[in-house]
Amino acid sequence: MDVNQYLQIFIEESKDNLQTLNENLLNLENNPTDIETLNAIFRVAHTLKGMAGTMGFVKMQKLTHTLENVLSEIRAGNLAVDSNIVDILFQSLDGLENYVEEITNTSTEGNEEYAEIISALDQIIKNENNQDSGQVNSVSVANESVVPDKLEGEEGLLELPESQELVKNNAISMGMNVYQIKIELSDSCVLKSARAFVIFTELERMGEIIYCVPSAQDIEDEKFDKAFIIVLITQETEEKIKETILGISEVEKTSIDAFALNNSIVEEKLEQEEEVEQKDTRTAEHTGHQNAKQQLSNKTVRVNIDRLDTLMNLVSELIIVKTQLEGLDVRESEVESNYNDSVEYLERITTSLHDAVMKVRMVPVENVFNRFPRMIRDVSRKLGKDIELVMSGEETELDRTVIDEIGDPLIHLLRNAADHGLETTEERISIGKPKKGTIKLQAYQDGNSVVIEVEDDGKGINVNKIRSKAIDKGTITKEEAATMTENEIIELLFKPSFSTAEKISDLSGRGVGLDVVKSRITALGGHVEVETEFGKGSKFIVRLPLTLAIIQALMIHIADEKYAIPLSNIQNIEDVHKEDIKLIQNQEVIVVRNEIIPIIRLREVLGLPKAEDKEMMTGVIVKKGEKQVGFIVDSLIGQQEIVIKSLGKYLSGIDMIAGATILGNGEVALILDVNSLI
């Protein structure tokens, strides 16, 4: 594996670890005494530090090392988590994210050293040391005093510091194994700290490391000969641990000894033990949960998205060939029978292959949603509002391409809800609303689409204010405003440079945001709707296609040309009698099952030659959210699986056309964009 591959792995692993760190810091802020969360944060910080050191990113390693020092003091009970500490921990996270971003872009960590953040972290420890320096010094001396003796060949188990001894005894009393593991690296090992990091990582997947000799810092600095000792709490057997360690290259040998319960310590520290036992129960449950997650992660593999795109393109070509075969004219009965059987079999295979590839490309929206709790936390502080973000449907899956593009539009909608939608705390209290404003972020699948809703319980949209603002800016005339419906007025919010904000801030009021949201979502083949009730709140509904590659479509004829309508947009097909078409407010409509539905003559909107009305016409009823429209078409061809092809950069901006597809006979058919037609 070359350096670039190692770097790519480092970047991917770091991003995953930083996301985990972000989530756990949010949990820690809400539950400052949760040992399980604190242990998870410490493990991630330790992993990041080791990875940065192994790759030679010294500045990133220094920041993570200082962060780890603070976390160690918190874990030891010498520091209590408060809002100031959490803020500095989040600043450290931001610094680490910036390092990874710089490494991603330039393969270097840049020149920024984040001295202010490191100084703030050091100050936390300095303040704590000034309060209780004697206790801390005694702990550090106890740690160092054990280092030289046990690694010079002396047999027997380590004498653990008191806190680790209590943890060990509680683990044993709960039926877990506590092992002292001595590992000796081979003489040929050059990067001892890197090899030790691999060993630590593997063992942390099997349990929790509570102690090591020499210290973790000395091991990272390679201040050891070739042997070190680890104390591990685990549910695994000695054989499994030994097999794992010896499976790592450049490990010469290992020996494992089991600790027994120290009854005298248990009796002396009974009250403390009961408290630690409660915490350790959560830790044990968390360890089991982590092991389950690890078993699951072992069944997954990282795949470059370019390879998936290549595979998808091959499937697309296969489907085109299948379509061509279906269009061939085969006459002789025996040949026709065999041919039809083969085509049917090919269809089953291509459908199965398509489904399999699509599942590989599908990614949970959780990958996008996870970044929003931190964002809302920061926004609420900046605005001085008390905001709660409630998320649901994170397991809903979308095509990877859609996932990569949907993040920024959702950020705009969430910030808009926080800034424009929710009232200030004082305003909410004065009108009898709960002090805390709520923003709901929900995702769910609806047929061949995924719906993402951003809803707030704020003041709703003032339609009259939008109307007045639009008239003042010259966006619409007074005459136009008088005839526009409420929904049409709300649609003005998506016009470029249109804003109703009274004050300009770095969050809103600059006229950018909602127009970007609409253009991004439209480019993905989706659309956005708004539901609002003045005084009660608003809901932005984003509807997106499950995939952008292969879809089921209804093929139609219009003026001797073939077009495709995505099947996911179609409600039903109706026969339309000429005399059933009525005119209401200059809009042609039909009545279908007691429901008035506007109709659109596709010949006219597409600029094709007009044709005389037949006594009986075909109407394709399509749906955009709650709105239904009937498309009048010349004739139907049938349902077909099609491959969506881009029109290229010169034709990509054409309204009403979402793309094109190649038919079995080589013809090109345009795919209608239902959302822009309605």
What is the distance between the alpha carbons of residues 347 and 345, in angstroms, rounded to a whole number?
Answer: 5
Q: Rounded to an integer, what distance in angstroms lies between the CA atom of residue 202 and that of residue 226? A: 18
Q: Which of 17, 23, 46, 109 is catalytic?
A: 46
Given the residues 29, 68, 453, 455, select the one marked as catalytic.
68
50: three-class secondary structure by DSSP: helix
- CB contact at 8 A, 546 and 553: no
Pairwise CA distance, residues 507 & 387, whole Å: 15
DSSP assignments along 453-485, one per residue: EEEE-S----HHHHHHHHHHHTSS-HHHHHH--
Tell me if 138 sits within 8 A of 129, measured CB to CB. no
Six token digits for residue 605: 């909107």
Q: Is 574 a catalytic residue?
A: no
Rounded distance between C-alpha atoms, residue 89 and residue 327, angstroms? 64
Query: Catalytic residue at 561?
Result: no
Q: Tell me the C-alpha to C-alpha distance, in Å, between residue 293 and each of 73, 300, 395.
A: 28, 11, 15
Q: Is 420 a catalytic residue?
A: no
Q: How far is CA 524 from CA 399, 553, 652, in A?
A: 11, 17, 12
In this structure, the number of other CB atoms found within 10 A of the CB of residue 312 comes to 22
Of 24, 416, 569, 675, catalytic: 416
Number of Cβ within a 10 Å radius of residue 152? 8
Torsion angle in degrees (nearest 10) through CA of 88, 90, 93, 95: -60
| H-run or E-run covering 399 | strand 397-399
Q: Report phi then psi at 560, rounded to 5.
A: 65, 10
Q: What is the DSSP string of 625-671?
A: TTEEEEEEESEEEEEEEEE-B---TTTTT-TTEEEEEE-TTS-EEEE
Q: Could you identify the residue written with the tokens 């708004």?
A: 530
What backbone torsions phi and psi does residue 208 show, to the nearest 5 degrees? -130, 125
For residues 175 and 287, give the distance between their C-alpha atoms in angstroms, rounded to a whole number. Answer: 14
Separation of alpha carbons 199 and 181, rounded Å: 11
Sign of the C-alpha dihedral, residues 639, 642, 648, 653? Answer: positive
Place of tokens 């994170």: 394
Q: Which residues are catalytic?
A: 46, 68, 416
